Chain A
Amino acid sequence: MSDPAFLTIAEASKLIAARKLSPVELTEAYLGRIAKLDHLLDSFVTLTAERARYEAKAAEAAVMAGQPIGRLHGIPYCLKDIYETAGIRTTAMSKLLADNVPARDSYCQEKMAAAGGVLLGKNATWEFAHGGPSWDVLFPPARNPWHRDHSPAGSSSGSAAAVAAGFSPATLGSDTGGSIRGPAAACGIAGLKPTYGLVSRRGVIPNCFTHDHAGPLAWTTEDVAILMQVIAGHDPEDPGSADVPIPNYEVALTGDVKGLVIGVPADWLEMELPLAPATRAAFDAALEVFRGLGATVRPVALPPLQQFDDAKRTIAVAELFTIHGQDLRTRPELFGASLRYRIIAGGLVRAEDYIQAQRLRTDLARAMQKVMATVDLLMLPTAEPAGKLEPLPPSALFTKASLTTPFNVGGNPALSVCCGFAANSLPFSLQIVGRLFDDATVLRAGDAYEKVTPWRDKRPIL
Chain B
Amino acid sequence: MTDAPSQDEIVRLARQAGLDLPPAYLDELVEAYGHVRAMVARLPAGRPHGDEPAHIFVPQKFLPAKE
**Chain A residues in contact with chain B, CB under 8 A?**
210, 236-237, 239-240, 306-307, 309-311, 313-314, 317, 321, 325, 328-329, 332, 337, 340-342, 344-349, 353, 355-363, 365, 394-395, 398-399
For the complex of A and B, list the 10 residue pairs with the smallest distance between their C-beta atoms, beginning with the closest: A358-B53, A347-B17, A398-B35, A361-B54, A345-B32, A345-B33, A236-B65, A239-B61, A345-B36, A356-B43
Q: Is the CB of A332 within 8 A of B21?
A: yes
A residues in contact with B19, CB < 8 Å: 328-329, 344, 347
Q: How far is the CB of B16 from chain A (nearest CB, A)?
A: 8
- In the complex, B23 has a CB within 8 A of chain A: no
A residues in contact with B47, CB < 8 Å: 356, 359
B residues in contact with A313, CB < 8 Å: 39
Q: How far is the CB of B51 from chain A (nearest CB, A)?
A: 5
- In the complex, B31 has a CB within 8 A of chain A: yes
Q: Is the CB of A353 within 8 A of B40?
A: yes
Q: How far is the CB of B60 from chain A (nearest CB, A)?
A: 9
Using an 8 Å CB-CB cutoff, how does the interface string of B44-67 with A read, 1 for contact, 0 for none? 110100011111001001110110
Q: A237-B65, A325-B18, A365-B54 are in contact. Are A349 and B32 (CB under 8 A)?
A: no
Q: How far is the CB of B23 from chain A (nearest CB, A)?
A: 12
Task: Compute how far the CA of A307 lies from the CA of B42 in the bound complex, rounded to whole angstroms.
Answer: 8
Specify the chain A residue showing the minimal Cβ separation from B26: A344
B residues in contact with A332, CB < 8 Å: 21, 25
Q: Is the CB of B52 within 8 A of A349?
A: no
A residues in contact with B45, CB < 8 Å: 356
Q: Is the CB of A395 within 8 A of B31?
A: yes
Q: A325-B17, A395-B31 are in contact. Are A348 and B54 (CB under 8 A)?
A: no
Q: How far is the CB of A255 from chain B (nearest CB, A)?
A: 37
Specify the chain B residue showing the minimal Cβ separation from A348: B13
Q: How far is the CB of A332 from chain B (nearest CB, A)?
A: 6
Q: Choose among A237, A341, A358, A395 the residue that contacts B54 (Cβ–Cβ < 8 A).
A: A358
12 CB < 8 A contacts A-B: A236-B63, A239-B61, A306-B42, A307-B42, A317-B36, A329-B20, A344-B32, A346-B36, A349-B40, A353-B40, A359-B54, A398-B38
A residues in contact with B32, CB < 8 Å: 341-342, 344-345, 394-395, 398
Give the interface size class of chain B: 35 or more
Q: Is the CB of B35 within 8 A of A345?
A: yes
Q: Is the CB of A362 within 8 A of B54?
A: yes
- In the complex, B28 has a CB within 8 A of chain A: yes
Q: Is the CB of A344 within 8 A of B65?
A: no
Q: How far is the CB of A297 from chain B (nearest CB, A)?
A: 30
Q: How far is the CB of B50 from chain A (nearest CB, A)?
A: 10
B residues in contact with A349, CB < 8 Å: 36, 40
Q: A348-B10, A348-B13, A348-B14 are in contact. Are A398 and B51 (CB under 8 A)?
A: no
Q: Choose among A236, A237, A314, A340 the residue that contacts B36 (Cβ–Cβ < 8 A).
A: A314
Q: Choose among A210, A356, A360 the residue that contacts B55 (Cβ–Cβ < 8 A).
A: A210
Q: Given A307-B42, A317-B36, A340-B28, output 14 extra A-B contacts at Cβ < 8 Å.
A: A210-B54, A306-B42, A310-B42, A332-B21, A337-B28, A341-B32, A344-B19, A346-B36, A348-B10, A360-B44, A362-B51, A363-B44, A394-B32, A395-B32
Q: Is the CB of B21 within 8 A of A314?
A: no
Q: How far is the CB of B7 from chain A (nearest CB, A)?
A: 13
A residues in contact with B29, CB < 8 Å: 344-345, 348
Task: Compute how far the CA of A340 lies from the CA of B26 in the bound complex, rounded to whole angstroms.
Answer: 11
Q: Is the CB of B39 within 8 A of A314?
A: yes
Task: Compute how far the CA of A321 lies from the CA of B39 in the bound complex, rounded to whole angstroms.
Answer: 16
Task: Compute how far the CA of A306 lies from the CA of B38 in the bound complex, rounded to whole angstroms.
Answer: 12
B residues in contact with A399, CB < 8 Å: 35
B:1-23 near A, CB below 8 Å: 10, 13-14, 17-21
Q: How far is the CB of A338 from chain B (nearest CB, A)?
A: 10
Q: Is the CB of A358 within 8 A of B55?
A: yes
A residues in contact with B44, CB < 8 Å: 356, 359-360, 363
Q: Is the CB of A314 within 8 A of B28?
A: no
Task: Compute how far the CA of A125 lies from the CA of B51 in the bound complex, rounded to whole angstroms.
Answer: 37
Q: Choose among B20, B28, B39, B55 the residue that contacts A341 (Cβ–Cβ < 8 A).
A: B28
